[in-house]
Amino acid sequence: MGAAAAGWPAEARAGRPGWRGRRGAIPAPPGAANAPAGLARRSRRGAHARARAAAAAARRRAVPALGSAASGGHGGTRSRGPRLPGPTGTKAGSSALPNDARANHAVASPLPAERGLQPRHAVLPKGGAERSRRPATRGPRTVARTDAIPAPRLLVGDVGGTWTRLALVRPRGDGGFDLVVQRRYPSRSLPDLETALRRFRTETGEEPVAAAVVGVAGPVAEGRARISKLPWTVEAARLAALLGTARVELVNDFQLVGHALPHLRGEDLAPVQDGEANPTAVRLVLGPGTGLGHALVLADGRVLPSEAGHADFAPRGPEECALQAFLAERHGHASVERVLSGPGLVDLYRFARHEGYPVCREVEAALAAGDDAAPLISAHGRARRDPACTRAVTIFVEVLGRHAGNMTLAAWAVGGVFLAGGVAPPLLPQLRSETFRRAFAAKGRFEPVLQRVPIVVIVHPEPGLLGAAALAARLLA
């Protein structure tokens, strides 16, 4: 006997009816034992076919089709399975839910949410949404999208000395957020944050919010904060009364940037120095804007605020010692924030002018008009068009590099340095220069360590609001 036949069961090789195959024992029809061999084979084939048909019918009776109401899926056999009862006059096979209710009816996902897996949504049939509302009497039914139920609205804010940013967002199932509406108000044009919130709600609607998180430029203690650059005192209790929700939290504005880090994508980060990030180490967030913000991001996700911007400016060399004296004469206390901020960049230009560098007429006109001259100084300094602007930008980049290196050592933030704020992104070419990286790493015996610390600039337009949204979503948990 050939090799193929040898692998068959013994009953089959003997030509006996009723051999056990993959689908189990198939009983022989009556009289098969005495039937001719050819007739016996035909009888066995018929018995196989009848058994397969009976098994398929049993499965259809026991398990509803994937496209039925019971399973909430697609495809499968044509068997309809059990149906939800419909109102009188409802066509067979149509949904008992009205059109607007079907749009908000979600199908539960069998996928584990903790792994971040999302259910696969149904594709609307050809003809668009209007056609999808018609009852389906043949074929698989369209399943309502799982994101049709509106997510709770979250109010998020980022309050600084220059701008007050407010937005409404909705969390998505994938951990991201959808922006509903956003407004930006000049901070100094408002008497307090409550006025900004009332204006925002008037402009965008009075719909309730489930939670609110607002970041403020200053330290927060027991739900109360006084903003450093504004005559505002903000209290979480007053905001909760205004918004009608108890889920309100105040945090430092650079804490928000720290909470945004897990949500930033590759295009939100511009590399300055490649390195080897230690995933268990502290990460440093700092950034010059209206002031100089700092935060430390721990490996467990906690974010610690810092007011290191108000520490003393530590000059290095005769020129910076003269700069310290210049700043102390103007402000009394020469903090590092007096150098590394938008207003600090303007003071650096004034210092360069004081030291005899030729001035920029455009900047002088802006200063005379009381306008913010920092963007002009930055632009002229980057282009190296005016000596005073160029010198101001050079000092700024050197001091920022040195301060970032000092903070990295102080916190042992070898997990990475993230530069944020409104001043750093436009200066990206200068931050990628040897000037910044040399100042950052020039720390004697620890220079090799700092040369391996990754440094990036956050170029996301609103990292503070993104971090506030992440915190607000946690308040709902």
pLDDT digits (tens, 9 = 90+) for 255-274: 999 999 999 999 999 999 99
> What gap in Å lies between CA 423 and CA 374, rounded to an integer?
9
What's the pLDDT score for residue 53? Answer: 66
Q: Which conformational region is residue 127 in: left (phi greater than 0), alpha (psi within -120 to 50 degrees), or beta?
A: left
> What gap in Å lies between CA 291 and CA 286, rounded to an integer?
10
pLDDT at residue 345 above 50?
A: yes
What's the pLDDT score for residue 310? Answer: 96
CB neighbour list of residue 201: distance below 8 Å, 6 or more residues apart: none
* Token pair recorded at residue 16: 């006996």
What's the pLDDT score for residue 145? Answer: 42
Q: Percent of the chain at pLDDT above 70?
A: 69
- Mean pLDDT of all residues in 24-42: 46
The pTM for the full model equals 0.69
Quick check: helix, strand or coil at residue 24?
strand
What's the pLDDT score for residue 4? Answer: 41
What's the pLDDT score for residue 397? Answer: 98
Q: Which residue has the tokens 């700043």?
A: 327
What's the pLDDT score for residue 148? Answer: 54
pLDDT digits (tens, 9 = 90+) for 55-100: 555 544 443 332 333 333 333 333 333 322 233 333 333 333 233 3
Identify the structural domains of the chain with CATH numbers, from first to last.
154-264+465-475 (3.30.420.40), 269-459 (3.40.367.20)
pLDDT at residue 249 above 50?
A: yes
